[in-house]
Amino acid sequence: MDSNHGSPVPIGKSRLGIFSSLLTCSQQDQPVSPGKYTRSGSRKSAASLDDVRSNGWLDAMKASSPPRKKLLKGSNIQVASIDHETEDYLSWMLDYPSALECFDKIVDRAKNNKIAIFLDYDGTLSPIVDNPDCAFMSESMRATVRSVAKYFPTAIISGRSRDKVFDLVKLTELYYAGSHGMDIIGPACDSLSKVHPDCVKSRDDQGKEITLFQPAREFISLIDQVFKTLVEITKDIKGAKVENHKFCVSVHYRNVEENNWTAIGQRVHDVVKDYPRLRLTHGRKVLEVRPMIDWNKGKAVEFLLESLGFTDRDSVLPIYIGDDKTDEDAFKVLRESQQGYGILVSSVMKESNALYSLRDTNEVMKFLQLLVNLKRQEGRTRDRP
Ligand SMILES: [Mg+2]
């Protein structure tokens, strides 16, 4: 699939209602340059982070967790009032155009291909909330995702455990990959067991044949052990929350006062450094302990495409929507293979391997509804005598 989406096309109507002529559907064929979108002193708002290193983890925690900023809305905003951050965001959107504005261009690429949809959960289908147990998706979003799954093969790929994310989504029509893709249930597929001997054929609750793949299965007891240790060492830090996702552990510090971030970061780091087979990565106000294996959300997308029968990748257009650093692995797979589109959900500037952007979960829902409407329209056209 060609990644050149054509020459820049001006967007008629900006979703911000301002500076519409600045926004285009032009695409970025080149990798993003580090620091490209930074105004002096604002590097942290466009953070690109590697795994935690032994020093500098506090900076990494802060850089991973920029405050969420609301963008200016409405058409009656005086141009003079637009601040530098908004200007920077609009400049950023030249390289990460709105997937809503560019919808026609995106689906045009799928004329002879089948679209497959991959969705992150937190921050993509549900808003980010203080208590991760309360990150519920709205009924309208659930109905939209159900409709999407009616027309397109659809999978959720989340950092949460597969069971937890299913409890939140509650849709049997979908495929699920929990623990950052380390716990996958996909359609039954014989060819995969040749490549991945650990694949297990099984049946789901509805009796449908499925493939279960858990590439980090050997880490389950180790992860449980680390989880218990992390619960113990953070129990006196108010607001800290440790979650066991079966194949990885999350330590949330969203509700921890910033003057305690040093303590929580130091303690988690001290635990993880004693486990050479584990690594510590950053999410938004969360530290994540993961097995040191060559597996991520990008590999999970490739696995699911294979299990869905898309051995000929030219016959499918995968669309992946997510907001996390861990989603970058999936964006990168799609970008490098030039066989699909990564869509970053973000209301702040971020360096990304995604090709397009959506501002928030509302825009994600609008984008998914456009996909559903497109299929319904195609059906009506086909049925017309
Ligand atoms: Mg997310």
Q: Is 274 exposed, middle or buried, given 0-12, 13-18 or 19+ CB atoms closer than 10 A? A: exposed
- Distance CA(288)–CA(304), nearest Å, equals 24
What's the mean pLDDT in 248-255?
94
Q: How many angstroms is it from 279 CA to the middle of ligand 1? A: 19
Name the least confident of 29-38, 176-185, 208-217, 342-351.
29-38
Q: How many angstroms is it from 77 CA to the middle of ligand 1? A: 31
Q: How many angstroms is it from 324 CA to the middle of ligand 1? A: 5
Q: How many angstroms is it from 41 CA to the middle of ligand 1? A: 26
With a cut of 80, say whether residue 162 has pLDDT above it. yes
Q: Which residue's structure tokens are 């002529």? A: 21
- Place 244 in a pLDDT band, splitting at 50, 70 and 90: very high
Note the pLDDT tens digit of each residue in 332-345.
999 999 889 999 99
Amino acid at position 144, single letter: T
Note the pLDDT tens digit of each residue in 92-149.
899 999 999 999 999 988 887 899 999 999 999 999 888 888 999 999 999 999 999 9
pLDDT mean across residues, the chain? 82
Q: How many angstroms is it from 174 CA to the middle of ligand 1? A: 18
With a cut of 50, say whether residue 20 has pLDDT above it. no
- Place 10 in a pLDDT band, splitting at 50, 70 and 90: very low
In Å, how far from its chain's centre is CA 258?
Answer: 26
Name the least confident of 74-78, 171-175, 296-300, 336-340.
74-78
- Distance CA(385)–CA(375), nearest Å, equals 18
- Place 323 in a pLDDT band, splitting at 50, 70 and 90: very high
Q: Which residue's structure tokens are 């650990």? A: 198
Q: Is 124 exposed, middle or buried, given 0-12, 13-18 or 19+ CB atoms closer than 10 A? A: buried
Q: How many angstroms is it from 328 CA to the middle of ligand 1? A: 11
Strand 200-203 and strand 209-213: the pairing is: antiparallel
Q: What is the pTM of this model?
A: 0.80
With a cut of 60, say whether residue 53 has pLDDT above it. no
Ranges of H-type helices in the chain: 57-64, 84-95, 103-108, 139-151, 162-169, 190-195, 220-234, 261-272, 297-307, 328-337, 361-383
What's the mean pLDDT in 168-179?
95
Note the pLDDT tens digit of each residue in 260-310.
999 999 999 999 999 999 999 988 889 999 999 999 999 999 999 999 988
Q: Which two tokens stand for residue 39?
A: 């105004």
With a cut of 60, say whether residue 47 has pLDDT above it. no
Q: What per-residue confidence (pLDDT) applies to 56? A: 67
Task: Provide the 3-class DSSP secondary structure of residue 96.
Answer: coil
Beta carbons of 322 and 314 less than 8 angstroms apart: no
Beta carbons of 104 and 371 less than 8 angstroms apart: no
Q: What per-residue confidence (pLDDT) applies to 207? A: 84
Q: What per-residue confidence (pLDDT) applies to 317? A: 94
- Whether the CA torsion 259, 260, 263, 266 is positive or negative: it is negative
Q: How many angstroms is it from 145 CA to the middle of ligand 1? A: 16
- Place 37 in a pLDDT band, splitting at 50, 70 and 90: low
Q: How many angstroms is it from 194 CA to the middle of ligand 1? A: 32
